[in-house]
A and B are shown apart, each in its own frame.
Chain A
C-alpha cells in the first residue's frame, strides 16, 4: 500500500480514536460510528420494504439493500435499532446496507410473545425478542446459502458468509446477497435452525459493538417526525376538554361561547368531554382555553371526593390493620407462627405519592377517517400498534383490519402510551369522524397532567422477626394501593388471572434468602387513574424492602452491603454487582463534609444491579443533594452496550425525580397540578455525576430501560440515614418531609 493510500484509509476510518464509543473495533473489523461515516456504514430508517421478501422480517433488493422490520416501537430506548441488529447479526448482513422500517400491524407475525400482541413495554423487547430474532436472521442466511450453493454447484457446507456476501473459499468465488436476491427461490417453509447453527458470541460483529442508533442523526437536526409534527392536506386541529374525574359525565356546555370564536369549525360532544375543531393550531388552543369556563360537569365517577393526603392515612391504617381483608401475593414457609416466636421484631411503613410520566411530547395523534366512517388511517406514537388499531376500530364500530396504523417515533413513553384504550388516539379518530377530514388532536401540557394516569400512591407496611442471634427468620410485606392493570388493560388483567404485576412488581423477596416470608396486598381502588410508570411497583416496593434491610443492618450495627451479601450467597451475579459497586464508590471510605453513602440492590426481571448514592444535606433548607451515583449492572449479553449505559443513566435521573421532587396531589377527585411549575422534574442542576459499570456476562440478554429507577430512593434514604441516623419513609423527600424527619 502506498503511503498516500494508507493515509487516506486512516483518515476515512479513524476520525478519532481517543473517544470511547466513537469507534468500536472487534477482531480486525472496524465499524466507524462518527458522524462523517454514519450514512455510509450505518443502517438508516427506511420508508418501505424493497426487493424480494425472504421472510416477513427481511427483504433483500438486487442492489444489496436489506430491509428489516422493527417490531418494537421507539420511544428513546433504542429498540428500533437493537432488535433489527440481532436479525442482521445472524443474517450476517452488511449493516450499512440495512434499512429499518416499523413493522405493520400483524399480531401473529410481529407480536411480543410476552404479551401476545404488538407491545413495547416492561423493558423486555431485547429479552423476549433476542432468541427469536436470531433464528429469523439465521433462517434467511440459510436460504441465501442454499441458493448460492445451487448456483455455484458446490456443497452448501463449503460456503461461508461475510458481511452480505456468500463466499466459496476453494474457488475464490463470491456472491453478494443482492446478487443472490435476484435469482433466489424462497422456500415456503422457513428452514429449521439448530442452536449450534447460530453464531458463537465471540463471532458477533454487530452485537455488543455499539452501532449508531438509526434514528439518532435525525434527532440532532430536527428532521425526525413525531406524530405531533405531521400535517395533511385539509387537516383541522382538534382539542379536547375531558371530564376532570373519570365518569363524571357532562352536565352542560355553552356551545355558543366556543362556536363563535375565530376559526372554530365545530364543537363536538364526546362520551368523556367536549372537543373543538378549528382551522389553525392557535385557534384550537384559544378555544381550548375558552372551554375551561364553558363546561359544567356531572357528579358521578369513583374518584369523586377523593383526597390523596387523607387517602394516604387511610391506606396506612388499612395496611397496619392486621384483621383487614388481604390477598396473598407470594408466600414461603409460615410467617405468622415463626414471627410470633421471634426473639425480637421490627416494623415500619413506607409511603409513595402519585407520580406523572411527563413524557416531553404532549399526547397527540393524527387520524383520517373515511367520510362514510368505514375505514381509518392513524399516525400516532404508541407503545402498542395492536391496541391503537383495536381501540380505534372499536370507537368507529368497524373491523380492525379497516384501520391502518402508522407508528411514529415517540417523544417519550415511560408507560403512558401503553393503555389498552389509547384514549389520546381515539380523540383524533372521533373528531376526524365528525370533521370528515384529517384531524390532528394535541393535548396541552395542562391536559397531559390533568388527564394524567399515574403511578399509584401506596403504603408499604413491613415486619420482620429475628432469632436470638439477630438472623432474619420471618418477613412480611403488605402493600396497600390502587390497582393498575385492571384500569390500564382489562384484557391483560384477565389473562394474568387477576394479578396486578404493575402495582406488586418487586414486592417479593428480591432473591434474598429469607425463610418464612409473606407478601400481601390490599387493593384500594379509589377511582384515581393509574398507570405503569417507568420502574412500576418496584419503585415503591423496593424502596420499602431495601429501606427495611438498611434499617435492620444499622440497628444491628452491621454494614448494609455485608448484610445483603450474606442473604445473596446463592446468586453470584448479585454478589458481583454489589461487590463491584462497593469498589467503584470506595464504599468503606468515610466521606468528609457531612456527606453520606447509601446502597440498594435489585434483581429486576433478570437484570442484576446495585447502586450507591453519595448525598449531602442542607438541614436548614431541608434540601438533599445527590452528588454521585454509582451503578453496576449485569444485563447478560448487552446488544448495544453504550445504550445500556445510556438507559441506566436515564433511569437514574428518572429515579432522582421520583425520590426528591415529583408529586401529584388529588383534591375532591381532581388533579391539582398543571404544568412544570407545580410538577417539577429533574433539570441538569439536579443530576449527580453518574458512574456506570456494565458487567459483561454470557447470560441471555435482559432489560435495561427502567432497571435503575428503583435503586435511587432506597440509596438516597440510606445515605440520609448514615448522615442523620433518621429515616425517610415517604417519597418524594421534599424539604418539608426532610425537616419533619430531622425534627
Chain B
C-alpha cells in the first residue's frame, strides 16, 4: 500500500496506510517538519501545503489520494529563503512564535499565484483560513502587499 508522489521536486514513497493524514507522513515519515500540526481538523491552517500547485490542509488530506501528485511544503518554495514572500515576511518582521508562519506563507504564496495584485479585502478573505495566535495579521497583510510588488 505504498504511495508514490513528488515532494518538493523529489520522488518519494510513503508506506503509511492510505487513510493517514498527509501531514503526519510529511512530518514524521519524510521528516520535513516545517509543516505544522495545529488542530488536526482543517481549522487553523498551520498544516497548509500545496498539492499540484494549490493550497491544501495536509491534516485533512489522505496520503492514499496523493499518488502521482506534486506536493510542495515550506521547505520547497525556495532554495535559499529567497522567495519574495519569505523576503517580505522578514522585511516586515512578521513572525513572533513562528509556529503558524509556514502555513501562512504557503497560503500567501497560493494567493499570489492566482492573483498578482490582490486588494486588501482579497488578502484578508484568503488569509482568514490561517490562525495566528500571536496576532501578526497586520504585518502579514503588509508582507503580502510587499511581496505582490516583487512577484
Contacts and interface: CB of A to CB of B under 8 A. Distances in A.
Contacts of A280: 16, 24, 28-29
Nearest to B123: A684
A212 B87 CA distance: 13
A76 B134 contact: yes
A362 B37 contact: yes
A440 to B, nearest CB: 9
A683 B43 CA distance: 11
What is the interface of chain B mostly: helix, strand, loop, or mixed?
A: loop
Contacts of B75: 221-223
Interface string B42-65: 011010000000000000000000
B95 to A, nearest CB: 4
A444 interface: yes
Contacts of A285: 24, 40
A647 B135 CA distance: 9
Report the 5 A-B pairs with minimum CB-CB distance, sorted nearest first: A222-B34, A653-B135, A76-B97, A411-B99, A219-B98
A649 interface: yes
Interface string A635-656: 0000000110011011111101
Nearest to A38: B90
A681 B39 CA distance: 13
B55 to A, nearest CB: 15
Interface string A4-46: 0000000000001001011000000000001100100000000
Contact of A76 (B36, B39, B43, B98): B98
Contacts of B151: none
Contacts of A409: 97-98
15 contacts: A21-B93, A76-B98, A216-B98, A221-B78, A223-B75, A229-B27, A229-B33, A281-B24, A281-B27, A411-B99, A412-B134, A675-B41, A682-B137, A683-B128, A684-B130
Given A220-B95, A221-B81, A360-B36, 16 more contacts: A21-B93, A216-B98, A219-B101, A220-B86, A220-B101, A282-B17, A282-B21, A360-B99, A409-B97, A649-B139, A652-B135, A653-B135, A654-B135, A656-B135, A684-B141, A687-B137
A222 B95 CA distance: 12
Contacts of A642: 93
A22 B141 CA distance: 17
B20 A282 contact: yes
B138 A689 contact: yes
A534 to B, nearest CB: 10
A414 B98 CA distance: 14
B38 A445 contact: yes
B75 to A, nearest CB: 5
A280 B21 CA distance: 12
A687 B16 CA distance: 40
Contact of A220 (B21, B24, B89, B97): B89
B71 interface: no
A161 B92 CA distance: 33
Q: Of B41, B73, B94, B96, which is in contact with the most chain A CB atoms at under 10 Å from its CB?
A: B96
A442 interface: yes
Q: Of B39, B43, B99, which is in contact with the most chain A CB atoms at under 10 Å from its CB?
A: B99
B136 interface: yes
A224 interface: yes
Given A22-B91, A220-B90, A445 B34 contact: no
B139 A444 contact: no
Interface in A257-293: 280-282, 285
Contacts of A653: 134-135, 137
Contacts of A75: 97
B98 A224 contact: yes
A362 B95 CA distance: 18
Contacts, number: 187
A565 B26 CA distance: 57
A141 to B, nearest CB: 29
B33 A222 contact: yes
A280 B29 CA distance: 9
B134 A226 contact: no
Nearest to A683: B128
A217 interface: yes
Contact of A650 (B73, B98, B128, B134): B134
B73 A222 contact: yes
A360 B132 contact: yes
Given A216-B93, A220-B105, A231-B28, A360 B131 contact: yes
Given A411-B97, A650-B135, A360 B41 contact: no
Nearest to A34: B91
B127 interface: yes
B7 interface: no
B76 to A, nearest CB: 9
A231 B134 contact: no
A513 interface: no
B124 interface: yes
Contact of B34 (A216, A221, A359, A442): A221
Interface of B: 16-17, 20-21, 24, 27-29, 31-41, 43-44, 46, 73-75, 78, 81-82, 86-87, 89-102, 105, 123-125, 127-128, 130-141
Contacts of A410: 97
Contacts of B82: 35
Contact of B125 (A226, A237, A442, A685): A685
A311 to B, nearest CB: 27
Nearest to B94: A220
A413 B39 CA distance: 16
Given A35-B87, A217-B90, A221-B78, A360 B138 contact: no
A427 interface: no
A684 B96 contact: no
Contacts of B136: 646, 649-650
Contacts of B94: 220
Contacts of B24: 280-282, 285
A360 B133 contact: yes
B84 to A, nearest CB: 10
B43 A675 contact: yes
B97 A646 contact: no
A56 B100 CA distance: 34
Nearest to B132: A360
A676 interface: yes
Q: Of A219, A231, A281, A656, which is in contact with the most chain B CB atoms at under 10 Å from its CB?
A: A219
A677 B32 contact: no
A146 interface: no
A212 B137 contact: no
Contact of B90 (A35, A77, A229, A676): A35
Nearest to B16: A282
B39 A445 contact: yes
Contacts of B33: 222, 225, 228-229
Contacts of A219: 95, 98, 101
Nearest to B142: A19
Given A221-B81, A222-B102, A361 B36 contact: yes
B90 A359 contact: no
Contacts of A412: 97, 99, 133-134
B138 A690 contact: yes
A482 interface: no
B81 A220 contact: yes
A676 B91 contact: no
A218 B73 CA distance: 15
A293 to B, nearest CB: 18
Contact of B131 (A19, A282, A361, A681): A681
Contacts of A38: 90
A133 interface: no
A647 B34 CA distance: 24
A360 B86 contact: no
Contacts of B32: 222
Contacts of B100: 360, 411
A282 B98 CA distance: 25
B97 A687 contact: no
